[in-house]
Amino acid sequence: MNILQTIKNALKKDEVVKQVIIEDNTYNPIEISLPIQYNTQKDNPKFNFIPASSQCGYTTIAMVLSQFIPEANSDIFISDIILTFEKNFINGKGSRFGSLMQNHVKIYEYYIDKYKLNKQVVFIPQDGTLNDIVEGLKAGSAVEFSWMPTSSGHYSTIVGYSEIKKSLEIHDPWGKFDFTKKAYGSQSGERNIHTIDLITPWMNRSSPNGKGYRITYLKDKT
């Protein structure tokens, strides 16, 4: 029976009207908030050419991995990432490996292999959508994303999504960004709620083609 016929019948029978209303009210909005501990980069140890202020990427990676490796969300683990992947840069040679998200894929893969996780990396370098973010969260993974609250760019972690509020729940390792002042204040970056309309332009600026999200998350191997 098509929807038009259902409506016609509903006009004739009250019980059908009730059934149509009940069926219409069965939709449950998507509300996700992952139990991932926040970690700030501000108290991370300094490594020669890599001060704490340049460790947003490593801290974000650690928060993503912590859902599957509990000890990952620690300064010791972040130091392990840096010492494993930045030996040359620490010694003044070459460029910083962790500054590029495509290199983060290799870091995730290294720890997936090291800890024998049944996971694979999903990397969307541009044109990522809200549906992609939600898919990552539904897979039980925080979603790493890049955006431009500073001229040099920044990495943060999406840990939740509210369809009702049309917002993202974000662990920002540097603190809370004030969109009005276009600057960071002194408030914590733990579970900051930003509406999608507000933060999307700042995320688009980080994408190579200037549109869509640039994100990475983990999911079960298929």
- Residue 197 has a pLDDT of 96
CATH H-level, domain 29-220: superfamily = Cysteine proteinases (3.90.70.10)
| CB-CB contact of 204 with 212 (8 Å) | yes
Query: What are the residue ranges spanned by the domains of the chain?
Result: 29-220
* Nearest-angstrom CA–CA distance, 45 and 20: 60
The residue among 212 and 4 whose pLDDT is bigger is 212
Q: According to the model, what pLDDT value does residue 25 have?
A: 63
pLDDT the model gives residue 21: 38
pLDDT band of 24, cuts 50, 70, 90? low
- pLDDT score for 208: 85
Q: Which positions ≥6 away from 76 have C-beta within 8 Å?
A: none
Give pLDDT tens digits for 119-163: 999 999 999 999 999 999 999 999 999 999 998 899 999 999 999
Lowest mean pLDDT among 56-60, 71-75, 90-94, 173-177: 90-94
Residues 49-58 pLDDT 10s: 999 999 999 9
**In this predicted structure, what is the pLDDT of residue 14?**
45
- The pLDDT score that the predictor gives to residue 90 is 87
- Percentage, residues of the chain above pLDDT 70: 89
How far apart, in Å, are the Cα atoms of 148 and each of 42, 100, 172? 18, 14, 12
